[in-house]
Structure 1
């Protein structure tokens, strides 16, 4: 008698490499992206920002659990996905993490709120694709990605507002 459901679960001892890989990929995303951020630079401090921008400490407080949820959800979906579904999910995750990292470089290193806004819009589209593909493999994993997508949509609105307020500061 099977109680597990449609897809059989792989034993935990065989799943850990998948979770380790997604954790490593997400950690690399955070580290490489974080290297570009300089919220203390004179350029960033000089930008006009909307009054609804969260305080600086909130970004780290939000991103830490979001990155953990991306690693967990991606690992869970990859464990369940097979064949072509798994390959396209890996590609979607790779594009997503690349865009996640790139935003920091577009905005902070290029000192371009406009490039940052373009990057966040691309990341939002990538989030939709990642969630759609993840949902095919596992609904719970897809649901775990929703706060990430919501935060990125908020970041897009924030970035667009900053770009609008600082049209002449884009270098």
Structure 2
């Protein structure tokens, strides 16, 4: 992985604001694609274990906040290759995170959304491991995110396989 030179955190609260802003930006990008997600989600045949659509927003809000704090915590660690690698992985995993909503809700591409969430899951695991090397507590903050994406992957797979007309 390429080393990323990041400035030392001279202004830690500004850094936290920046990591939170990045999380908000990713949430907004996904949110734009999910503007009509509730209506589409209700049209899908659902498994008994599917959560109600109203649960997703609050869960993602908490997860994005925890993710930003975890990244900030790693960013505040002493500079070095491990920190750079961890933060690059973190930023990279945000791309499939934001893309998933577009694939699933806006473009209704179940197979591509499944491939995207599988890639996202692998990138989150890599990020957790990289964060662990720098700051184990930051890695722990990402575990609920990993658990939620694991659940979302299972739900994505079920919905895709049981709704071929809508997620073809």
Please classify the TM superposition score into its range, dividing by the shorter chain length.
Answer: 0.7 to 0.9
The RMSD of aligned alpha carbons is: 1.8
Q: Give structure 1 stretches of 5+ with no counterpart.
A: 1-9
1:162 aligns with 2:164: no
Q: State whether residues 78 and 89 of structure 1, in contact with CA within 8 Å, keep that contact through their aligned partners in structure 2.
A: no
2:41, 2:59 → 1: CA distance? 20
Specify whether residues 117 and 81 from structure 1 end up closer, same or farther in structure 2 by C-alpha distance, changes over 3 A only: farther
Count of residues in correspondence between the two structures = 160
Q: State whether residues 78 and 137 of structure 1, in contact with CA within 8 Å, keep that contact through their aligned partners in structure 2.
A: no
1:53 aligns with 2:59: no
Q: What is residue 65 of structure 1 aligned with on the other side?
A: 62
Q: CA deviation at 1:169?
A: 2.8
**Structure of higher CA gyration radius:** 1
Moved over 6 A (4+): none
Of the structure 1 ranges 121-130 and 14-23, higher mean CA displacement relative to structure 2 is found in 14-23
2:108, 2:161 → 1: CA distance? 14
Specify whether residues 114 and 81 from structure 1 end up closer, same or farther in structure 2 by C-alpha distance, changes over 3 A only: farther
Q: State whether residues 96 and 126 of structure 1, in contact with CA within 8 Å, keep that contact through their aligned partners in structure 2.
A: yes
- Of residues 69, 73, 76, the one that matches 1:79 is 76
Q: CA deviation at 1:90?
A: 2.2
Q: TM (normalized to structure 2)?
A: 0.88
SS of 2:49's partner is: coil
